[in-house]
Amino acid sequence: MFEVEIVTGFSAAHRLRDYNGKCERLHGHNYKVLVTARAPGLDRGGMVIDFGDLKAATEPVISGLDHSFLNDIEPFDRIEPSAENIAAVIFDRIARELGDRARILHRVSVYESDSSKATFIRDEE
């Protein structure tokens, strides 16, 4: 199995609505995002996916979140903008950008800080 990964990030504010603690107050993060593609073999060019193509699929998703108040952005206007939900939404949006190559998207990890991350992994069943 081969994996490739890109690292990107964005800055945004949020508040957790259904949470009793300091994160219920408005605050922000400089999120780091790791996007992982995986395949059992390589394409004719010897790659899982060209890094540039993975970056191109990821950039519009990340730029749509950058310097925003996440609670105002769909679907976070309805669901909690937790790191777990952010990872799942980013995964889903990148998969749509990849189109017929979405099957290689394996994992998206979102770091809220250097020591705290949440990951969404494609269900392989």
67 a catalytic residue:
yes
CA-wise closest residue to 80 among 14, 22, 30, 125: 14
**Does the annotation mark 29 as catalytic?**
no
Q: Which is the catalytic residue, given 29, 80, 97, 112?
A: 112
Residues 6 or more apart from 17 whose CB is under 8 A from it?
Answer: 24, 71, 80
Which residues on adjacent β-strands are paired with residue 39? Answer: 2
| Catalytic residue selected from 3, 5, 23, 84 | 23
Distance CA(51)–CA(73), nearest Å, equals 28
Residue from 5, 14, 67, 125 carrying the catalytic annotation: 67
Q: Which residues are catalytic?
A: 23, 67, 112
